[in-house]
Amino acid sequence: METSSNFFLLTSGCIDVRGFCELLFWGCDSEGAILVRIPRHRPVFFIYADVHLPADFEVERRRLEMRSFDGKAVDGLYFPSLAAYHEGRRKLAEAGIRTWESDVRPEERFLMERLIHGSARLRGKALIRDRYREFVNPRFEPSEWCPQLSTVSLDIETGTNGTLYSVAMDRSAEGIDTGSSSKGGKRIRIVGLLDERLPGPGYRSEELQLNEEEAPAQLCYLPTEISLLEFFVEKITELDPDLIIGWHVIGFDLTFLLERSRRLNFPLRIGRSKSVLRLVKQQGSLPIVNLEGRLVIDGPPLLRGASIRFSEWRLNTVANDVLGRGKSIPDEGRDKVAEIERRFREDKEALARYNLEDAILVTEIFEKTGVLKLMTTRSLITGLPPDQIHRSVAAFEHFFLPRLHRKGYVAPNRSDVHAGATTPGAMVFAGGFGLFEEVTVLDFKSLYPSLIQTFHIDPYSLLKAAEDPLVTPVNIDFSVSEHILPDYICKLMQRRTEAHDAKNDALAYAIKILMNSMYGVMGAANCRFYNTKLPTAITAIGRWVLESTAKQLRDWGYKVLYGDTDSVFVQLKDDERLDANAAGRDLAQRVDGYFREVIQSNFGVPSFLELEFEKHYVKLFLPRMRTNDEETAVKRYVGLLSDGSLDIKGMEFVRSDSTPLARDFQYELFRRYFNGEALAPWIRGVVGRLRNGEFDDKLVYKRRLSRRAADYKSPPPHVRAAKLLDPDGSRNIRRVEYLMTPTGPVPLELKPDEIDYNHYIEKQLRSLADDVLIHSGESFDAILGGKQLELF
């Protein structure tokens, strides 16, 4: 009997079965896992219609009403199998015959041509399999259904000799909230722990109490590493998660488990079809996880992609920031290693509890931050699987390519696109430095998407510009009537407004990310729609908008202090300062009206530009350049808001590589400066307290290494500190905490007993103080007594 079901895509693939191509889509609905099979699918790409194929080339060739970007007619080549598809592409390349879209994956083309974005409505006959349902050749309809995804948080502990000690799994009770109804289920917490003292096969199970409020977990003792791997595979199969989550779960946990499985000749069959876990290495980034029916989601990349920032990315730090509690053992260092070894030898239950607590922390961080809801929402917006939402070029092509086909055009292969001239950057200018009062900040809402709307900027419009030209302010023409992207931007803008009204922050943010990525995509050489005129037009028109805004404001008698890409800082007139917010809103509306008139009269199209009043500074400080005191520094400023708080941009206060001392000093410096308090006695007091050791806990540098310490030719201080911990490079340290001592940087792990206070005075405090003091005719040296500084 035919049935229908919602379907959220998790993984997709393409294989040959009995000589024919078959598409495989794994996903889920509210009841559980679903496999969709599309047998005998015929992959396709395109060639010029007037090209003769090699004599031995077997393929179905169809005449199509479509053209290439150079205006020539094209035919479609339809292949019976994936192998034939790849072989055909190879043969034509060797024969020097150009192909079009031969790099589009068949499974991705299938979804995009049906306008499927993340979710679909399936209609067909469902076959009941073990732990999942299967649809064969169902009808697909677009859908916006959002799932409730079940998760298992995975964490492992290992020994210094490379032995797997334990595996902990925390299954969320009802799936982490993604904004939809729950699948149901219960919270399950399990730890498998190696105990080589156990006799024979099998394992011993007991309860593991975490605290008085929660139900106990299950602790299983196993005699060998192979039995521990068997336990892991068995429990993943039983728990059957949509997502395996963790903290560095790809780069460490799964990588380690896979290495041990290969060494012990035990395949990790944890896919939904009992397929084997595979990791595909990538140069310079995490491996790609190949696992049918399940996604593996790593905490730090997901949180960074959601613009959630922390001072550092260790689990202990993030957990304390988000949850107010952390790990029972420090995140790294010799003390951690020693304690794990001690617990394994002497207190295995304590090791199991520590292992499981790490898995639980990850689950609760995901729950508290709501990142999975944002992830699934972005999947629905971009059309990409949740673990690929960061692929902005792929997201653009998923939307644009099928709509281009409906216009009768095919696109080139990515490899046939070559980078052109460098695109000019956005405009930044400053109108002076020092302290200013009563400054309003005006910001163009989604400037680049608005320019795309206004001037019809997209690859298809550029292609058709000669037929119906829209001349822009920078003399790059687009089509008045033929375009794709502007209408899509308009729909996204409307959806974003509706999302804001409905307080759906995840949807609003997902749309913002997608819209803001489109400029970068069209300027990316790995995009098949790249043309240097596209990003050049956007940035050049953006500069024209900012210049025109500043000029018009000056013509109205305002002082424009600063401008950057899409915002201007304007000093209000004396009679506007009683109600600065109202004055800022009125000024934004006047500029909007100016652009509506100018763009309509000069270019014949309506303006979609919208300038908004963003904020009002009671006081604003624009610093001089440190290398040229005649110029204003850009992208660095501090503002005092009406509620008394400071808004600091681009300064040491917001830099992750500054010490806590520098951040605290800079914040208090500006607080006192804006409030007219004396700075000299306070600065002398800070220096004195520093030398007395009162700030020793605020002097730690925390830095990351982008590569192995041994690979640096001229190592900076943090790399020299890392080398002291890892002289032979065996530990591959990627993060180090250190203090500056008279002998140089020394890691905290080595417990430095002397601190170079002069370093912190000279390198951390001096320039921060002089940024401000120079405007009052003072200096850091003069306050501290000049040359007496060395003897202080």
Q: How far is 365 from 372, CA to CA, in rounded Å? A: 10
| 3-state DSSP of 415-442 | HHCCCCCCCCCCCEEECCCEEEEEEEEE
- The mean pLDDT value for 720-737 works out to 83
> For position 431, what pLDDT does the model report?
82
Q: How far is 471 from 597, CA to CA, in rounded Å? A: 16
Percent of all residues in the chain with a pLDDT value above 70, rounded to a whole number: 95
> For position 287, what pLDDT does the model report?
86
Q: How far is 38 from 326, CA to CA, in rounded Å? A: 47
Q: Which of 156, 161, 160 is nearest to 193 (CA)?
A: 156
Confidence of residue 726 (pLDDT cuts 50, 70, 90): confident
Confidence of residue 654 (pLDDT cuts 50, 70, 90): low
Please report which residue ranges of 433-484 form alpha helices under DSSP H: 447-455, 459-463
Note the Cα 729 to chain centre separation in Å. Answer: 30
What pLDDT digit, counting tens, does each position of 329-371 carry?
866 556 788 899 999 999 999 999 999 999 999 999 999 999 9
Tokens representing 505 are 């922050």
> For position 790, what pLDDT does the model report?
45
Tokens representing 211 are 């605290």
> For position 655, what pLDDT does the model report?
66
Transcribe 96-107 into DSSP letters. T--EESTTS-HH
User: What are the C-alpha distances in Å from 404 to residues 112, 235, 316, 417, 519?
Assistant: 12, 46, 48, 17, 18
> For position 711, what pLDDT does the model report?
82
> For position 346, what pLDDT does the model report?
93
> For position 158, what pLDDT does the model report?
95
> For position 787, what pLDDT does the model report?
45
| 3-state DSSP of 607-663 | CCCCEEEEEEEEEEEECECCCCCCCECCCCEEEEECCCCEEEECCHHHCCCCCHHHH
What pLDDT digit, counting tens, does each position of 268-318 carry?
999 998 999 999 888 767 888 999 999 999 999 999 988 898 878 889 999
> For position 633, what pLDDT does the model report?
78
> For position 627, what pLDDT does the model report?
73
> For position 563, what pLDDT does the model report?
93
* CB neighbourhood size of 484 (10 A): 18
Whether the predicted pLDDT of 45 surpasses 80: yes
> For position 335, what pLDDT does the model report?
74
Lowest pLDDT segment from 259-263, 364-368, 625-629: 625-629
Q: How far is 579 from 575, CA to CA, in rounded Å? A: 9
Tokens representing 242 are 């949509």
What pLDDT digit, counting tens, does each position of 79-97 carry?
999 999 999 999 999 999 9
Q: How far is 39 from 150, CA to CA, in rounded Å? A: 29
417-622 architecture in CATH? Alpha-Beta Complex (3.90)
- The mean pLDDT value for 249-256 works out to 94
Q: Are the C-beta atoms of residues 72 and 172 closer than 8 Å to each other? A: no
Q: How far is 752 from 104, CA to CA, in rounded Å? A: 56
Number of H helices, E strands in the chain: 22, 31
Greater confidence, 338 or 691? 691
Whether the predicted pLDDT of 630 surpasses 80: no
Whether the predicted pLDDT of 42 surpasses 90: yes
Greater confidence, 283 or 502? 502
Question: Residues spanned by CATH 3.30.420.10 within the chain?
Answer: 151-370
Between helices 106-113 and 392-406, what is the axis angle to 10°?
60
For residue 542, the number of C-alpha atoms closer than 13 Å in the C-beta half-sphere is 29
Q: How far is 119 from 261, CA to CA, in rounded Å? A: 35
Q: Domain 151-370 belongs to what topology?
A: Nucleotidyltransferase; domain 5 (3.30.420)
E strands along 85-143, which residues? 99-100, 119-129, 132-136, 139-143
Confidence of residue 788 (pLDDT cuts 50, 70, 90): very low
Whether the predicted pLDDT of 130 surpasses 50: yes
Whether the predicted pLDDT of 101 surpasses 80: yes
Q: Are the C-beta atoms of residues 243 and 250 closer than 8 Å to each other? A: no
Confidence of residue 55 (pLDDT cuts 50, 70, 90): confident
Question: Residues spanned by CATH 1.10.132.60 within the chain?
Answer: 658-791
Q: Which of 516, 534, 519 is nearest to 419 (CA)?
A: 534
- The mean pLDDT value for 199-205 works out to 74
Residue written as tokens 């550092």? Answer: 312
What pLDDT digit, counting tens, does each position of 395-404 carry?
999 999 999 9
User: Hey, what amino acid is at 61?
Assistant: R
Greater confidence, 736 or 23? 23
Q: How far is 23 from 21, CA to CA, in rounded Å? A: 7
Best CATH choice for the domain 658-791 from the list 1.10.3470.10, 3.90.1300.10, 3.40.140.10, 1.10.132.60: 1.10.132.60
> For position 71, what pLDDT does the model report?
94
Percent of all residues in the chain with a pLDDT value above 90, rounded to a whole number: 73
What pLDDT digit, counting tens, does each position of 550-567 carry?
999 999 999 999 999 999
Q: How far is 697 from 710, CA to CA, in rounded Å? A: 29
Collapsing DSSP states into helix, strand and coil, what is residue 574? helix
Q: Are the C-beta atoms of residues 441 and 569 closer than 8 Å to each other? A: yes
Whether the predicted pLDDT of 62 surpasses 50: yes
Transcribe 506-567 into DSSP letters. HHHHHHHHHHHHHHHHHT-TTSTT--THHHHHHHHHHHHHHHHHHHHHHHTTPEEEEEETTE
Collapsing DSSP states into helix, strand and coil, what is residue 389? coil
What pLDDT digit, counting tens, does each position of 300-309 carry?
999 998 889 8
Q: How far is 268 from 277, CA to CA, in rounded Å? A: 6
Question: Residues spanned by CATH 2.40.50.590 within the chain?
Answer: 2-142
> For position 789, what pLDDT does the model report?
44
Please state the CATH superfamily assignment of the domain spanning residues 2-142 in this structure: DNA polymerase B, N domain, beta-barrel (2.40.50.590)
Burial of 677 (C-beta count, 10 Å sphere; 0-12/13-18/19+): exposed
CB burial string 189-206: b at 16+ within 10 A, e below: bbbbbbbeeeeeeebeee
What's the chain's length in residues? 792
Question: Residues spanned by CATH 3.90.1600.10 within the chain?
Answer: 417-622
Mean residue pLDDT of the chain comes to 91
> For position 181, what pLDDT does the model report?
41
User: Hey, what amino acid is at 579?
Assistant: D
What pLDDT digit, counting tens, does each position of 145-171 carry?
998 899 999 999 999 899 999 999 999
> For position 704, what pLDDT does the model report?
85
Whether the predicted pLDDT of 392 surpasses 90: yes
Q: Are the C-beta atoms of residues 418 and 525 closer than 8 Å to each other? A: yes
Whether the predicted pLDDT of 791 surpasses 60: no
Note the Cα 194 to chain centre separation in Å. Answer: 37
Q: How far is 222 from 201, CA to CA, in rounded Å? A: 8
